[in-house]
């Protein structure tokens, strides 16, 4: 006969507002095998946990069901409390009365009855729970960081400085990411490259960091502490051991008109190129798509120019296999192009540019060496219009969220423009100004008050060209409600920040979740912002949602601490909710018939063959055996097993069946 | 079958995956979206774990409808469990007619951890559908009969 303790949490009023918690406890007390049923205002609090611990000791409970919030929230809390009172933690189950009941239903009998059913179901389950011991597996103390922007750089440096090996993989020929493209940073207006490039160099020189540029994650297998990552090193066509980075090849390259990705399409580059002068590593790659030799079979001018013979024409992609214990994903974001906006000319007007392109114009290392000049004719624009929320907060465009950084960088752009073009006039069209952050609001006020940027609250309906001018038609919704028409020389769109192209493919490779906009999903929006639902994989930066540099850096350091924390153990404790093949005394040994269907179903190759031998050493039977270090507990094998010989701990056939029966047999 | 019975409260069991739909249903809660109380969730590690015989058992015990929901294709936490479940469902669905179960009584769907609103829709539409179909007793009767006769097939 079981002795189950039932504990119903009011969660302040979160549960008790719609569920009659006292009645739930009273009803549960009547259930067979329930020794005590108690309700309390905050079960997760210290006194609440003490109630559970005292009850375990007093009633000698052999099972606990807590009716509270989602088990994804406090299952570890309550399991730990049980363990402290001497009850095996896996004899504790959580009934989800908040997220799955009180928050989604109106107050009433139906809701209370559902709550009673949910707890009863778990009572039937916990009666069949078995005490389990957690599994210990070794940890590979090496981290993989994917993406070499500021987030990846910061995370790599922090993990490396904690004394662990780091592999940093960057898809482009140089690390640096979007931050290296920026001119000045808000709210201090210090030069972006000046604060970034020393860190880039530090990454390249750090003894604990192995840097692979022009490389991508090919595949990922394994689990926390023991991942196997395959990394594709794309063919650079240049031998970096021989190359000195002198740049003679780039001067000779006849392909000079390729739009430069680093300059957001405003400048040009050659086919053999270093993305920007401060690149790390400062050695070129050949862009085979545009190279004359790869396209037409002849040219090789760079080879003749190279003093060290570093060009490797026949180089192929290499696949590298690395064992790592944790992964930090820092793949960043992108911005929508001007072609996303039919109302602003579908990208056909050269002088309608994105905020990122403006950064390049304002940057001393940019195509105009920091002078604000129109891309169409190179003249200095005397009237400039900035349009905030271009795409963002616009459900009609499929981007209902706020891109967060645009208000601030638009204020910065207008300010930089006023500093560089003294007789210029700048106008910003905005919906709201969102300047939350230290010194951010003051920064925007400075743009308005000291630099006299004209802020107009309202939307721009259309931009069209007339007599060489861009006519910006909008409306001032704050003061006059009247239409505004500005003859501008240049228009800058603060286009929405979006997930990188192919982000979902990367997420699928790593088995992490992503949101409807393809940003990677954190494990908990408030309490686990850097973790993913896949243990051992962490997130940092704008791959999770648009964010500015300080937030990105903070998140990267947060993820790095998680990794360092993980690596501070020699062994990893894992949940024992894994599959087991039954064993019995002779002459049966196991009901497993050795068909090994489970082996074909297992995604982790966790099922091995075991030979059961008699005393004479002869093989009596070959049966399946689960390797507890590899099994992740998905249970696919359980549904496959024809003889019902394999079962999964925590979700056994018996337990699941009992849950369903308790729901229906009433 | 009484299709206009407004008193009828269908019993619906949802077999869901821990990583997508369970978390999605949590999000429905955190977003305070409301749905019918008829659906009760049984948590599984993965839809690949779900033995479809359990669906028959549930019907035999008096369930009026069943929801099976997990991760979208390619999004499985365990690489491929949802593909196994999908294939199993396709085979199983073909047998339902033979077993005398209306396919409309089983809702097979994909709800990710980010789709709280979708979960509320799935629940509400399933409840509405089952309400229209009415109580399901045939399978329970057959099961009882087989139990009584000590049927061992």
Selection from A596, A605, A652 nearest residue B78 by Cα: A605
pLDDT recorded at residue B142: 76
pTM of the model: 0.80
Whether B62 sits inside 8 A of A664 (CB atoms) is yes
pLDDT tens for each residue of A267-325: 999 999 999 999 999 999 999 999 999 999 999 999 999 999 999 999 999 999 999 99
pLDDT recorded at residue B75: 84
pLDDT recorded at residue A629: 79
Task: Give the containing element (helix H, strand E) for A403.
Answer: none
pLDDT tens for each residue of A435-445: 999 999 999 99
Facing A601 at nearest CB: one of B32, B63, B84: B84
pLDDT tens for each residue of A339-377: 999 999 888 999 999 999 999 999 998 999 999 999 999
Best of B49, B89, B113 to substitute, by most chain A Cβ atoms within 10 angstroms, is B49
Q: Looking at the predicted structure, is the pLDDT value of residue A1 above 80?
A: no
Contact indicator for A354, A493 with CB cutoff of 8 Å: yes
ipTM of the complex: 0.92
CA atoms of A364 and A371, how far apart (whole Å): 8
Query: Which of the four pLDDT bands, split at 50, 70 and 90, describes residue A666?
Result: low
Query: Which of the four pLDDT bands, split at 50, 70 and 90, describes residue B1?
Result: very low
Residue A482 CA neighbour count, 13 Å, CB half: 5
pLDDT recorded at residue B150: 57
pLDDT over 70 percentage in chain A: 100
- Distance set, CA A239 to CA A52, A136, A309, A313, A316 (Å): 65, 43, 9, 10, 12
- Average pLDDT over every residue of A123-145: 93
End-to-end distance of chain A based on CA atoms, in angstroms?
A: 21
Whether A513 sits inside 8 A of B75 (CB atoms) is yes
Chain A residues with beta carbon closer than 8 angstroms to that of B29: 70, 98-100, 103-104
Chain B residues with beta carbon closer than 8 angstroms to that of A661: 61
**Alpha helix (H) ranges present in A85-191?**
109-127, 150-161
Q: Tokens 């007793």 identify what position?
A: B137
Selection from A607, A576, A616, A609 nearest residue A594 by Cα: A609
Helix axis angle, A653-664 to B53-60, nearest 10°: 30
Facing B37 at nearest CB: one of A105, A635, A648: A105
Facing B46 at nearest CB: one of A110, A634, A640: A634
In this complex, is the C-beta atom of A67 within 8 Å of any C-beta atom belonging to chain B?
Answer: no
Q: Looking at the predicted structure, is the pLDDT value of residue A632 above 90?
A: no
Q: To the nearest whole number, what is the mean pLDDT of chain B?
A: 88
Query: Judging by beta carbons within 10 Å of its beta carbon (0-12, 13-18, 19+), is residue A183 exposed, middle or buried?
Result: buried
Q: To the nearest whole number, what is the mean pLDDT of chain A?
A: 94
pLDDT tens for each residue of A142-161: 999 999 999 999 999 999 99
Contact indicator for A639, B51 with CB cutoff of 8 Å: yes
A187 preceded by a cis bond (ω within 30 of 0)? yes
Facing B49 at nearest CB: one of A104, A113, A648: A648
DSSP designation for A102: I
Whether B13 sits inside 8 A of A111 (CB atoms) is no
pLDDT tens for each residue of B41-55: 999 999 999 998 899
Length of chain A measured in residues: 666
Q: Looking at the predicted structure, is the pLDDT value of residue B147 above 80?
A: no
With helix as H, strand as E and coil as C, how does chain B read? CCCCCCCCCCCEEEEEECCCHHHHHHHHHHCCCCCCCCEEEEEECCHHHCCCHHHHHHHHCCCCEEEEEECCCCCCCCCCHHHHHHHHHHHHHHHHHHHCCCHHHEEEEECCCCCHHHHHHHHHHHHHHHHHHCCCCHHHHHHHHHHHCCCCC
Whether A104 sits inside 8 A of B80 (CB atoms) is no
Query: Which of the four pLDDT bands, split at 50, 70 and 90, describes residue B131?
Result: very high
CA atoms of B61 and B50, how far apart (whole Å): 17
pLDDT tens for each residue of B8-34: 899 999 999 999 999 999 999 999 999
Coil/strand/helix, residue A435 = coil
């Amino acid at each position: 006969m079981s002795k189950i303790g039932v504990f119903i949490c009011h969660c302040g009023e979160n549960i008790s507002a719609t569920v009659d918690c006292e009645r739930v406890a009273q009803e549960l007390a009547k259930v067979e095998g329930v020794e005590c049923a108690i309700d309390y205002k905050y079960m997760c609090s210290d006194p609440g946990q003490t109630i559970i611990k005292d009850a375990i000791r007093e009633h000698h409970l052999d099972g606990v069901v807590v009716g509270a919030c989602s088990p994804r929230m406090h299952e570890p809390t309550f399991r730990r409390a049980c363990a402290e009172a001497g009850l095996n933690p896996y004899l504790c189950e959580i009934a989800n009365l908040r997220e799955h009941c009180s928050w989604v239903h109106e107050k009433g009998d139906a809701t209370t009855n559902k709550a009673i059913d949910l707890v009863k179901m778990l009572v039937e389950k916990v009666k069949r729970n078995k005490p389990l011991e957690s599994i210990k597996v070794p940890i590979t103390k090496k981290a993989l960081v994917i993406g070499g922007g500021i987030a990846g750089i910061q995370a790599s440096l922090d993990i490396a400085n904690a004394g662990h090996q780091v592999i940093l993989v960057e898809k482009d020929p140089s690390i640096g990411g979007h931050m290296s493209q920026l001119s000045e940073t808000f709210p201090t207006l210090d030069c972006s490259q000046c604060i970034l490039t020393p860190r880039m160099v530090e990454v390249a020189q750090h003894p604990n960091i192995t840097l692979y540029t022009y490389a991508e994650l090919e595949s990922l297998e394994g689990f926390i502490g023991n991942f196997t990552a395959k990394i594709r090193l794309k063919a650079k066509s240049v031998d970096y051991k021989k190359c000195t980075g002198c740049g003679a090849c780039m001067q000779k390259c006849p392909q000079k008109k390729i739009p430069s990705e680093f300059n957001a399409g405003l400048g040009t580059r050659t086919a053999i190129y270093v993305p920007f002068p401060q690149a790390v590593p400062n050695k070129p790659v050949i862009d085979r798509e545009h190279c004359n030799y790869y396209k037409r079979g002849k040219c090789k001018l760079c080879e003749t120019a190279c003093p060290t013979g570093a060009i490797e024409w026949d180089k192929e992609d290499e696949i590298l296999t690395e064992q790592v214990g944790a992964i930090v994903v820092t793949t960043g974001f992108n911005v929508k192009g001007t072609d996303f906006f039919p109302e602003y000319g579908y990208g056909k007007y050269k002088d309608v540019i994105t905020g990122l392109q403006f950064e390049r114009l304002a940057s001393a290392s940019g195509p105009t060496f920091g002078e604000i000049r129109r891309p169409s004719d190179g003249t200095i624009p005397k009237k400039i219009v900035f349009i905030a929320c271009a795409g963002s907060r616009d459900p009609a465009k499929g981007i209902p969220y706020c891109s967060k950084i645009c208000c601030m960088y638009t204020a910065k752009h207008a300010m930089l423009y006023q500093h560089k073009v003294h007789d210029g006039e700048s106008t910003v069209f905005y919906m709201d100004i969102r300047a939350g952050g230290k010194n951010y609001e003051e920064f925007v006020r400075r743009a308005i008050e000291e630099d006299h940027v004209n802020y107009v609250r309202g939307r721009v309906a259309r931009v069209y060209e007339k007599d060489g001018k861009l006519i910006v038609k909008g409306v001032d919704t704050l003061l006059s409600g009247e239409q505004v028409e500005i003859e501008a020389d240049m228009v800058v769109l603060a286009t929405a920040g979006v997930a990188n192209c192919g982000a979902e493919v990367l997420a699928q490779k790593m088995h992490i979740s992503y949101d409807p906009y393809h940003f990677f999903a954190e494990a908990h929006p408030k309490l686990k912002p850097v973790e993913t639902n896949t243990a051992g994989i962490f997130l940092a930066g704008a791959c999770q949602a648009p964010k500015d540099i300080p937030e990105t850096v903070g998140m990267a350091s947060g993820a790095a601490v998680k990794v360092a924390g993980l690596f501070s153990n020699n062994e990893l404790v894992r949940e024992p909710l894994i599959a087991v093949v039954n064993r019995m005394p002779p002459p049966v040994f196991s009901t497993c018939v050795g068909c090994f269907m489970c082996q074909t179903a297992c995604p982790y190759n966790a099922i091995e063959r075991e030979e059961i031998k008699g005393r004479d050493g002869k093989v009596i039977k070959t049966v399946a055996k689960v390797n507890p270090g590899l099994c992740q507990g998905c249970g696919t094998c359980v549904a496959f097993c024809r003889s019902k010989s394999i079962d999964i701990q925590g979700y056994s056939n018996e337990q699941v069946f009992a849950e369903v029966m308790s729901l229906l047999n009433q | 079958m009484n299709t206009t019975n407004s008193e009828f409260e269908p019993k619906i069991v949802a077999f869901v995956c821990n990583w997508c739909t369970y978390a999605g249903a949590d999000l429905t809660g955190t977003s305070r979206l409301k749905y019918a109380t008829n659906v009760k969730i049984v948590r599984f590690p993965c839809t690949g774990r779900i033995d479809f015989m359990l669906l028959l058992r549930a019907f035999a015990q008096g369930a009026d409808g069943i929801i099976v929901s997990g991760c979208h294709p390619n999004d499985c936490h365990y690489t491929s469990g949802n593909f196994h479940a999908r294939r199993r469902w396709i085979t199983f669905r073909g047998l339902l007619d033979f077993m005398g179960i209306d396919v409309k009584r089983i809702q097979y769907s994909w709800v990710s951890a980010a789709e709280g609103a979708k979960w509320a829709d799935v629940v509400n539409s399933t409840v509405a559908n089952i309400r229209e179909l009415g109580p399901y007793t045939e399978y329970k009767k057959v099961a009882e009969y087989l139990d009584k006769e000590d049927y061992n097939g």
